[in-house]
Each structure stands twice: as structure tokens, then as C-alpha cells.
Amino acid sequence: MFLYASRRIIAMIPILLAVSMAIFGLIQLQPGDFIDELRLANPKMTTADVERLRREYGLDQPWYVQYGKWLNRAVRLDFGLSRENGYVPATEFVFEQRLSNTVTLSSTAFIIALLIGIPVGIYAAVRQYSLLDYVTTFLSFVGFSIPVFWLGIMMLILFGVTFKIFPTGGMQSEGVTQYVESTEQFTATGQVKKIEARDGQTIITVAVYDEASKTDLPKEFVLPANTRAAVVVDDYVSEGQALGQRVTFDSWLKWFLDFLHHLILPAVALSIISIAGWTRFMRASLLEVINQDFVRTARAKGLAERIVIYKHALRNALIPIVTLVGLSIPGILNGAVLTETVFNWPGMGTALLDSVVKKDYNVAMVILMMLSIVTLAANLLTDLAYALVDPRIRYN
């Protein structure tokens, strides 16, 4: 299996190159670039300024030359700076500020779909032609047909605006944080000059004005353990101001429950299509296996129905489901683009949309390449999972 996985990983390299070239070319087809945006924001820019900037950034060169320069940097994980996010590296912005939010939303939707879609599909197959079977079949067709953005808007209107059960967007309520102010306070007024770790402690150095010498003298404040500074360098602090912040169980629990409150609606909206699809396929796959000869033989031997279904039939029925579930992972991440936009969830989806609209293409390339890698990795993991589900499958 190791050799098979190694060959597949090596084969991904030319595919990623082709995908990157296609994505880069499509982005180049979009009319205008960020120089045009700068010119609209600054009417005083002259034509000479525009041409100079295009030469400096290489935008006057053919797209394949630009692609070659981009690829040379991208293999070193240098995707350039994000112009719309404080000129930080695009990879840093995506990985540190947006990736975890999207992973949280997508994994929650994936778990919800897995815990509901597969068991409901099994039960509908075992109770074929029952009332529950008809209801789940009807709802699965409806759920599979509804666009995720429309469903998200309807859920917002119903549960956020009409009944006011859930918030209408965002990831956290204003003012809710997992930190509370420490009881330790500044005993002087001045400007923060330095925050450093020393001997296992955090020291805040403040420049305090001394009346006797008529100069600013450094005064150090020691943060207690498990406490972070409540200020940053160059902040002005006053006497009685909290020195730091710490996490308590009550503050963390309040923050976590508020986070879940914001997570429920977008996660459910994102999971609906997967629930509908997995329910249908699980039902169809299990019904096909139940009618095969080896299942009838198991029943003829006098085995309990539970053992026949869950030990003999279900394992064989899971093989096509593994394919469906594995290949749905990229689809859930792609669906998060629309879901995050509707629910104003600060993840990669909203970042991708903003980067395309504002022509911040470096961020767009990071996100699109990441989605491509996830898609290829999901295909590989799906193939490897076959060997775990079906002992007849071996990879050499």
C-alpha cells in the first residue's frame, strides 16, 4: 500500500501543475487588475504612473511569463502579499486567519451529515416501503434539489429574523470573548515600550514620567502565570487599568456556547445536500446487497437479523458509500464558499469572494490551490479506504 500511495502522490505533481496553470490563466482572463483599482481610488494617478507600476509588478508581460515567475515563488510557498489585508503574506492570512474557521464549519457539517445521512439510509433500507422510507426518500430528493445559498437565506429569514432563535451572521457575538481581565492592575500611567518573556514570566515595560528628573523612566510590571498581556507595544496605559487577561472555565464556556450558537445554522445549511445524497445512496446500496444470495444464505443458517444486516450486508454496502463520502469532502469545502458568504462566516469562502472582487489574486491562488490539493488527497484517501472496508482489495 505504501508503494501504491507513493506512486499516486508523485502522479499528483503534474496534475497540480496543470491545475495551477488553468487557475492562473482563468484569473488573468478577468478584466482589469489591481492597478486599475488603485487608479480608481486615486484619480491623481497619471498614465505614466500606471505604466510604471505595471512594469514594476510584471503585469505588462505575457501571462505565461507571469505564470513562470509565480510558479518559481509558489514552490517555495511564497504566494506574494495580500494587498487588501494589510500587505501580510497571502499564505499567512489564509492559514492563520481563515483556514481554521472554514475547517471548523466544514468538519461540523461533515459530521452532522455522517451521523444523520448514513443511519437514516440504513434504517430506510431495512424498513423498505414503510412510512419512514417514503418520508426520507421524499425529503432526500427535496434536500438534494435545494441550492445551498437559497436554503441558507431561508433559514436566516425563518430562524434569525422571524423567530430570532439564532444570530443572523458572524462567528461571535460582540463583546463575547474567552478572556477575562486579571485582577492585577497598572500602578502608573505611561506608554508601553516593551513586552518580553524573561525567566518564564512575561514582563511589560512602561515609560513613566518622573517629576523629579523630568524624564520618562522604565517601570516593569510582571504578568502572573497563565495570563496574557491586555495591551500591545506603544499603547498608553493608565493607573488602575487591567494588566492582563486570562481564560477561566466560565469565560471559556460562555465563549464556546456563543460560538456553537453561531455555528448551528451555517453547519446545518451546508450539511443538507450531503445528508440527502448519502441517505439515498446508502439506502440503494444496502437494498442491492440485501437481495443477494449470500445474505439469504446467512438468514437460512438461522443468524439473527441484526447480525445479517450489520455484519454481512452492511460492510459490502459501504464500499460505494466510501467513494461517495470521500469525494464529498472537497464538495463540502467548495459549498462553504456560498454558505460563508450568506452567513457572513469569516472563512476561506468569504476571503475567496473578496479577493476575486477586489482583485487580490494572491489570496485567491492560495485558496484555489489548497482546494485542488484537498480534492486530490480526498481521491487518494478514498482509494486507500477501500482496503479497510473490503478485505478482498489489496494495493501493491
Residue 375: give its domain's CATH number.
Answer: 1.10.3720.10
Q: Are residues 164 and 301 in the same domain?
A: yes
Residues 127, 285 contacting (CB under 8 angstroms): no
Q: Is residue 394 part of a domain?
A: no
Domain that includes residue 223, residue range: 183-242
CATH of the domain at 232: 2.40.50.100
Same domain for 365 and 308: yes
- Would residue 2 count as lying in a domain? no
36 found inside a domain: yes
The pLDDT score that the predictor gives to residue 283 is 92
Q: Does a structural domain hold residue 7?
A: no
Same domain as 269, residue 139: yes
- Quick check: is 273 in a domain? yes
Q: Please give the pLDDT value at position 389.
A: 65
- Residue 214 counted as domain residue: yes
The whole-number mean pLDDT for each consecutive block of 10 residues of the chain, a chain of 396 residues, reads 80 92 86 77 80 83 88 90 87 92 92 93 90 90 87 92 91 89 90 88 91 89 87 92 91 94 94 91 90 85 84 82 80 82 91 87 91 88 74 64
What pLDDT is attached to residue 26? 86
Task: Report CA torsion sign: 350, 353, 356, 357.
Answer: negative
Same domain, 153 and 279: yes
One domain for residues 152 and 262? yes
Q: In this structure, how many other beta carbons lie within 10 angstroms of the beta carbon of residue 296? A: 12
Is residue 339 within 8 A of residue 349, CB to CB? The reply is yes
- Do 130 and 74 share a domain, yes or no? no
Say how many domains are in the chain.
Answer: 3
pLDDT at 257: 95
**Does residue 376 contact residue 16 with C-beta atoms inside 8 Å?**
yes
Q: Can you give the pLDDT at residue 392?
A: 64
Which domain-ending residue is among 89, 122, 142?
89
User: Which domain-ending residue is among 89, 109, 132?
Assistant: 89
67 and 203 inside one domain: no
Model's pTM, two decimal places?
0.84
pLDDT at 95: 92
Predicted confidence at residue 390, as pLDDT, reads 65
Among 89, 114, 133, which residue terminates a domain?
A: 89
> Do 351 and 379 lie in a common domain?
yes
- Specify whether the CB–CB gap between 358 and 32 falls below 8 A: no
d(CA 234, CA 162): 46
